[in-house]
């Protein structure tokens, strides 16, 4: 295995977590060598040449060291790094077995299969971080199941919710993304093997059998047909990654909003934070970085979809145009997942601040409930308009909303002050919050056992 | 049902097929009214009010006519068209039942559920056209299973394939896209119901039961939680549509390339075509329009993913930003599907032109096969380099490749002229083409029965 | 002129302002007819046929009514709406002059030139709204030049600014976007005229002269060459619109954040606002809608750039793929501009709330200033670390920051309590805010005279 | 200066040319250090501290070596690499001067200014390659001014053009892109300096003067205001790069199409090409790679525009989200430019193949000209329909078009066979091709003197 690549200047922020290593040039080289060895083994098993040749190729590969910069330079001549790798591997193996390397394959077979392998491998730490974030969200959902806070729509306080419900929504989003990613990983990451024009012509009748064994060697799916210019697998992987970015970015956005100085309901307790010039600031660095990494995903997803229309049996550019977005998408979504996990796992929740913010509107925002209580008597529209008017009056006058209501001649016949006070108590107006928290936790635990 | 919307100036090209009607403003209005009626029926069934009220709402809606322009104007005040629709429906229903309309719901519940309904409905013609295109591709795959043609990589002739294999690749791509779209349609199109902050507070304990019945009324899936700011459903639908666009655009691109004047292997036989100023041209209009419609998809998919990070319990802009891309994506992918179907169903295949093009390189491109035949004697690298040199010499001198080979001193000891001639016959070098065609046809027929 | 198009269901929100009409199908039809008439007049002036024929074409066009739906339907056959329009115009004109219509032109000449005309016309209301928003921002910058408020970075309070400075930043962004749009409008919106393959072959030697006169007739720029497959003009227009969307979205985002219930520093005073179910809410609808419209722009800009690589002398799909993004971009940026203007023109500013929020951190956030005062004595790093520690201690203990500082043994030798209090006064730490406000106002007034 | 970064595995294909080095991590580190030194020098010149301190900072920086991986790791804590760099620089400088580093600046000031510097520097090789490509296109335009070839629309032969005209269109597109990039470089690449909240508070009254000197030190433009959350400069740079990508991708696409086996009108003569398994193929690697690199640009441009809406005085994520797309865009457009230059500079043109393809349609495609000649007698529509019918008959029967025309009873009265033959000669129907070539060459030479 190649050594771990050095951290780049921006990687600490934009390429957090183990996905960076799993998508590095060294990882790509390893994957392409693994693919060539697996192909040789498959062909050996299929009887195209003695198994000993395949083993010699394997051994030669293990003994050799490869120079990425030299391979990259030689890739210029041919337009991809596969042929230089095959040559270098051949030199390392030597003798007759060297002649069996890459048999029946075209460069795209190797590069596409390596991409699937890279994805399969990179998804391990990525899913681990997503699951860690989901577990942490599950912990918050459980702990704060009864913690009331303001629900906010269009950034305005709307109705009370619980922080547990908010965390349950994060959790369900993360679990959804995990399920989809696991599904894509299991069913859509397939080997590619078609030879120069997708017919496997140079393998004679042995083609389909070799493909089967090749898939077996690499523990990847076996495709029905070569998919050189059918990029749905890549697109589905990209989509699932984009979905994960959205699922990771959403809680991160909420956290930055809840951490605002004026809101102060949460704070990141991890190692990051602080500010270069402002010693008192507690920047929610992990959430900010999670957003930054997640926000890169949509354009990368779009780039992958833009490359789907590929010409004939190999595209003149659109295939090559996939390479970077593919790697970048894995890396940035992995980084977003790792940052989100960091943020949620160390999230400090200020229950008192949540309550204080909730009390700011003095019950005004439970107007909906009063409206509902008046509907039977007045009809929906009249009740709505009436309560709106009284709410505006209260907001203007500064007098308590409950008193304004109780004193109004159209309300008085239908609601007492006691009833109104009860209606305006947030803790009594949480609807199905608890049911929803239960569902999200149950679904999460059903998948991965008890956590948090 | 509202009447069919008038065709716009560009709709004939960019909004072909029935999807246009299924995504029109009239269809949106219908869907939102359907959703309000279904909600009332669900709440009636849940016992929140007498079923007769729900029926009165249903009846009122059927009797009324709604003015889209007026609703659009009133939407300006509140930021979405739902409240004006509720008011107009209330006016149409009148009396006490009017007070039950929209109970417990927030505007987003109605609009999101209507979006899911629009998607469900629009997918019918869209899938029908995709299936029609796939059937037509299956027909070509079957008919041209033995028709040799040039396989082309980087737009250069590479190795022989059959036109049947090319059509099978189109078919498999379309079938893949159909399967994914059907899956998303079945499992991910769910009702939305959460009320103002996602707690269903104003429905008391009845919330979850109402959601169940609501889903049942509309034959949509029931979500685990409200998903106001968890947009994975929208993203998965968008991705599946983007995948369909790619699957439709790929054959369309191939068709435009095969229809080039200098290639001349296919021609569109449909009604479209011709040129405003050039009477002799046979433009592959259907394929060109399919590409145009398919190429709009990736940026729309990207737009949907860009809107995934939504704030708190309702986003301040990102939700509204989804509306147009959502509709546009359905429309453009529907249009791409309809155009592709038109193109493939009327495709005229020139078998002789395929053969003539194939013969142009005089066997030069089966050099791979000669290389393979020399590998046992010379090793892969030397064989490759040798054949390359001879091929270049043949290309330069204009003498037949077979003769150049047979005359070379390093080749002569290993290959006779007969063997060389056999090696250079395209029909004998089609590898697993036939197996792949079989697989694609079998999979297609297993899904939808025998066609073509 | 065609009548104004009916408002669609979502247009009130997503297509505000006059740009909607300027980009409607009716506007496109008008523009294409204008282009055909201008071409005939140019060719008449160039002596290709009697000027009377051109005038007959003009007259025939004015007398006729055109059926958009029928034109749209006929466009299907040929792949664009130009030929049906030419036929319909020919029928309206009749006789020999009808034979002069569209002379030497190809469909793309007409459609591209019409697009430039649409852009030129739509930019009038769009720029008017952007300028209105800029004027309103200039008014706020002037009025609130001395209004201190919290500057916020990463959504945390950082250092004091003035609301005037914030408005000046909005202003400068809007003015920049206006300048760039005006520049593109003046220099890059050019007629297109090349004929079927860009050679103007059927005009003989008269081609270049006709292009000049054609540009003159339409008051558009004259291009050096036909630009059928050189789409830089479209891309620069799209970019300038994207820049305007960003410039409009930024203040809108700030406004939604400042309007948050817990921040409460601004409120929209316009007609929109309110909420369907929550009578007390004051949603910043205009800002939310501005964000929604602005957020659609980037993917549309990306779509235009994606279509730049066009084949040979006319693209097989990429050209058609531009049409909708082109129109949509004008519409959505026009709408964002109109909404932003509405929001800023009616913005209610709560100066007291700004001050109250500013006082919340009790001077903690002017720690930077204390740090700076200690640097001469302690060096930057030690001063920074020391003040950070004291700030954290103050935050933890709840004791005033000034007292904690004054009492610390390492601070005491260097700073008195009076000096510390002065250092922690926000009004004394506004740096160049005033200079920057002046600059932005001066630049704005230099462009468009005194406003606000 | 840091040493040149090692070539990555895919860099030979996707990061060709010198732009790669100019955008590497080492280049970023250099740029940030240059910015800190320039800031110190500006502040020294403004009298904030002795000039000797600035010189000590400069000297300390030159003497030190920095460890990118360690800086990247430390960036994790704070969310950007600037503070670690400042600390490291401070350690290198030592003593009192170290305390003057980064005075009044915030991390974003340094990173944004460094980005502008990176752009300024990277544009040198990028523009050099674009100009090289333009010069090569100018050479082709001059040489092939009279070389007739098929003009192709929707990938069908349409009318004759000259290869000189095609090259002139490439040239004009490249020159346009160069002009715009140079303009952006000259006017929009400005320093960033605002301090923590954009007020330059800690610089007292000296702020504006320091900004001026800072800009002077770096030879970048001086901004009117700090632009921390006004990203128009970045967006305009991105747009200009996207335009360059389009201008580079267009000729590359044409070259791949002209190099098709069945078309064979051009061939790349450079060092790249060949195929791993197919010794005879001459892949147009440079053009394919240029397309691949150019096709990455649109989504990166979209990403930059997506990040324009930034919150308050520093964005919580959107700013960080710009970093990679910014660098990637410079690199990929630089690479596209270098590849295109390689492709055009070595392009081998097959004039005979152009003529042979032109003759394939036997004059059918000059039907337009015959139509035009019949218009005076028959009117546009009837002439068009008549010629269309005869063309179809000729295509079906295989008889020469000229004979079919001459023999038709409706044509005979108006056109002799001699006249028809003359009308169908491509060389006589090139319209303004020559004028357009002249214009493009004259404009090119006016800018950069005589070339080619």
Does position A313 have pLDDT exceeding 70, yes or no?
A: yes
Q: What is the mean pLDDT of chain B?
A: 93
Give mean pLDDT, residues B255-270. Answer: 95
pLDDT tier for residue A42 given thresholds of 50, 70 and 90? very high
User: For an interface test with D, which of B280, B343, B362 has the most D Cβ atoms less than 10 Å from its Cβ?
Assistant: B280
Interchain contact, B226 vs A151, CB within 8 Å: no
Of the candidate ranges C271-285, D285-299, D300-314, the one whose mean pLDDT is the lowest: C271-285
Give the gap in angstroms from C-alpha B45 to the nearest C-alpha of chain A: 18
Q: Quote the pLDDT of residue D273.
A: 54
Q: Do residues C76 and B16 lie in contact, with contact meaning Cβ atoms separated by under 8 Å?
A: yes
Instruction: Compute the distance between CA of residue C375 and CA of residue B297 in angstroms, rounded to an integer.
Output: 57
Catalytic residue from among C45, C152, C180, C314 = C314
pLDDT, tens digit (0-9, with 9 covering 90-100), for D247-296:
999 999 999 999 999 999 999 996 655 554 555 568 999 999 999 999 99
User: For an interface test with C, which of D233, D308, D377 has the most C Cβ atoms less than 10 Å from its Cβ?
Assistant: D308
Contacts of B429 (CB under 8 A, 6+ apart): A199, A201, B159, B160, B366, B369, B423
Does position B275 have pLDDT exceeding 80, yes or no?
A: no
Percent pLDDT > 90 in chain B is: 83
DSSP letter string, C177-212: HHHHHHHHHHHT-B-----TTSS-GGGGGGHHHHHH
pLDDT tier for residue B321 given thresholds of 50, 70 and 90? very high
Q: Do residues C140 and C158 lie in contact, with contact meaning Cβ atoms separated by under 8 Å?
A: no
Interchain contact, A250 vs B230, CB within 8 Å: yes
Annotated catalytic residue C275: yes
Q: Active-site residue numbers of A?
A: 275, 314
Of the candidate ranges A213-217, A446-450, B152-156, D26-30, the one whose mean pLDDT is the lowest: A446-450
Tell me what ipTM this predicted complex has: 0.93
The 3-state DSSP class for residue A7 equals coil
pLDDT tier for residue C345 given thresholds of 50, 70 and 90? very high
Q: What is the mean pLDDT of chain C?
A: 93
Chain B residue with the nearest C-alpha to that of C17:
B76
Q: Which one is predicted more confidently, B307 or D425?
A: B307
pLDDT, tens digit (0-9, with 9 covering 90-100), for A197-229:
999 998 999 999 999 999 999 999 999 999 999
Q: Which of D68, D296, D319 lies closest to A8 in CB terms?
A: D68
Give mean pLDDT, residues B331-352. Answer: 98
pLDDT, tens digit (0-9, with 9 covering 90-100), for B57-72:
999 999 999 999 999 9
Q: Quote the pLDDT of residue A361.
A: 76
Interchain contact, B79 vs C11, CB within 8 Å: no
- The reported pTM is 0.95
Catalytic residue from among C275, C299, C397, C432 = C275
Does position C185 have pLDDT exceeding 50, yes or no?
A: yes
Give the gap in angstroms from C-alpha A135 to the nearest C-alpha of chain C: 26
Does position C359 have pLDDT exceeding 90, yes or no?
A: no
Give mean pLDDT, residues C353-374. Answer: 85
Q: Quote the pLDDT of residue B250.
A: 98
The two structure tokens encoding residue B36: 């309000």
Give mean pLDDT, residues D295-307. Answer: 98
Interchain contact, C367 vs A278, CB within 8 Å: yes
Does position D24 have pLDDT exceeding 80, yes or no?
A: yes
Give mean pLDDT, residues D14-36. Answer: 96
Q: Quote the pLDDT of residue A332.
A: 98
Annotated catalytic residue C233: no
DSSP 8-state code for residue A89: H
* Helix or strand holding residue B96 (H, E): helix B95-98
Instruction: Compute the distance between CA of residue C441 and CA of residue C141 in angstroms, rounded to an integer.
Output: 8
DSSP letter string, A49-64: S-HHHHHHHHHHHHH-
pLDDT, tens digit (0-9, with 9 covering 90-100), for B118-168:
999 999 999 999 999 999 999 999 999 999 999 999 999 999 999 999 999
pLDDT, tens digit (0-9, with 9 covering 90-100), for A232-264:
999 999 999 999 999 999 999 999 999 999 999
The 3-state DSSP class for residue D347 equals strand
Q: Quote the pLDDT of residue A138.
A: 98
Q: Quote the pLDDT of residue A367.
A: 83
Q: Which of C77, C271, C295 lies closest to B317 in CB terms?
A: C295
Contacts of D160 (CB under 8 A, 6+ apart): C197, C199, C201, D148, D149, D150, D151, D358, D365, D366, D426, D427, D429, D430
pLDDT, tens digit (0-9, with 9 covering 90-100), for C196-245:
999 999 899 999 999 999 999 999 999 999 999 999 999 999 999 999 99
- Where does C101-192 have alpha helices with state H? 107-143, 163-187
Does position D297 have pLDDT exceeding 70, yes or no?
A: yes
Residues in chain C closer than 8 A to B273 (CB atoms) = 77
Q: Quote the pLDDT of residue D361.
A: 76
Instruction: Compute the distance between CA of residue B225 and CA of residue B192 in angstroms, rounded to an integer.
Output: 9
Does position C145 have pLDDT exceeding 60, yes or no?
A: yes
- The closest alpha carbon to A301, from A253, A252, A236, belongs to A236
Q: Quote the pLDDT of residue D242.
A: 98
Q: Quote the pLDDT of residue A401.
A: 87
The 3-state DSSP class for residue A88 equals helix
Does position A180 have pLDDT exceeding 60, yes or no?
A: yes
Does position B274 have pLDDT exceeding 80, yes or no?
A: no
Torsion of Cα atoms, D18 then D24 then D27 then D28, to 10°: 140
pLDDT tier for residue B361 given thresholds of 50, 70 and 90? confident
Q: Which of B252, B271, B320 lies closest to C292 in CB terms?
A: B320
Q: Quote the pLDDT of residue C397.
A: 80
pLDDT tier for residue B366 given thresholds of 50, 70 and 90? confident
Give the gap in angstroms from C-alpha C65 to the nearest C-alpha of chain B: 14
Of the candidate ranges A205-209, A416-420, C279-283, the one whose mean pLDDT is the lowest: C279-283
Interchain contact, C155 vs A256, CB within 8 Å: yes
pLDDT, tens digit (0-9, with 9 covering 90-100), for B173-225:
999 999 999 999 999 999 999 999 999 998 999 999 999 999 999 999 999 99
Does position C273 have pLDDT exceeding 60, yes or no?
A: no
Does position A162 have pLDDT exceeding 80, yes or no?
A: yes
C-alpha count within 13 angstroms, C-beta hemisphere, residue A392: 11
Cα D137 from chain centroid (whole Å): 15
- The closest alpha carbon to A258, from A268, A248, A247, belongs to A268
pLDDT, tens digit (0-9, with 9 covering 90-100), for A73-109:
999 999 999 999 999 999 999 999 999 999 999 999 9
pLDDT tier for residue C280 given thresholds of 50, 70 and 90? low
């Amino acid at each position: 295995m190649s050594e771990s690549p050095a951290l780049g200047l921006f990687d600490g922020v934009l390429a957090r977590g183990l996905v960076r290593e799993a998508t590095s040039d060294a990882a790509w080289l390893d994957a392409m060598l693994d693919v060539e060895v697996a192909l040789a083994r498959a062909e050996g098993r299929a009887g195209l040449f003695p198994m000993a040749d395949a083993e010699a190729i394997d051994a030669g590969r293990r003994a050799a060291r490869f120079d990425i910069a030299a391979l990259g330079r030689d890739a210029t001549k041919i337009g991809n790094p596969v042929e230089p790798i095959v040559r270098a591997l051949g030199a390392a193996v030597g003798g007759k077995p060297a002649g069996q390397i890459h048999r029946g394959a075209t460069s795209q077979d190797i590069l596409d299969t390596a991409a699937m392998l890279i994805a399969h491998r990179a998804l391990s730490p990525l899913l681990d971080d997503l699951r860690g974030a989901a577990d942490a969200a599950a912990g918050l959902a459980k702990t704060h199941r009864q913690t009331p806070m303001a629900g906010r729509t269009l950034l305005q306080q709307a109705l009370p919710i619980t922080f547990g419900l908010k965390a349950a929504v994060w959790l369900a989003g993360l679990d959804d993304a995990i399920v989809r990613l696991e599904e894509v990983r299991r069913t859509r990451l397939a080997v590619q093997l078609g030879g120069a024009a997708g017919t496997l012509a140079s393998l004679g009748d042995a083609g389909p059998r070799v493909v089967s064994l090749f898939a077996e060697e690499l523990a990847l799916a076996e495709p029905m047909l070569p998919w050189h210019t059918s990029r749905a697998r890549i697109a589905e992987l990209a989509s699932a990654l984009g979905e994960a970015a959205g699922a990771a970015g959403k809680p991160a956005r909420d956290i930055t909003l809840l951490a605002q100085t004026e809101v102060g309901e949460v704070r990141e307790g991890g190692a990051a934070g602080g500010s270069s010039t402002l010693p008192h600031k507690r920047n929610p660095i992990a959430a900010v970085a999670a957003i930054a990494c997640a926000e890169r995903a949509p354009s990368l997803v779009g780039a992958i979809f833009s490359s789907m229309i590929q010409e004939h049996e190999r595209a003149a550019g659109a295939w090559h145009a996939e390479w970077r977005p593919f790697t970048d998408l894995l890396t940035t979504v992995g980084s977003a997942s790792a940052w989100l996990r960091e943020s949620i796992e160390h999230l400090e929740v200020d229950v008192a601040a949540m309550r204080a913010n909730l009390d700011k509107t003095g019950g005004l925002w439970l107007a909906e409930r009063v409206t509902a209580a008046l509907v039977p008597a007045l009809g929906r529209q009249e009740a709505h308009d009436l309560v709106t008017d009284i709410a505006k009056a209260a907001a203007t006058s500064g007098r308590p909303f409950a008193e304004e209501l109780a004193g109004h001649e159209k309300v008085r016949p239908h609601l007492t002050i006691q009833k109104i006070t009860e209606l305006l108590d947030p803790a009594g107006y949480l609807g199905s919050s608890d049911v929803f928290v239960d569902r999200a936790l149950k679904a999460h635990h059903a998948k991965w056992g008890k956590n948090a």
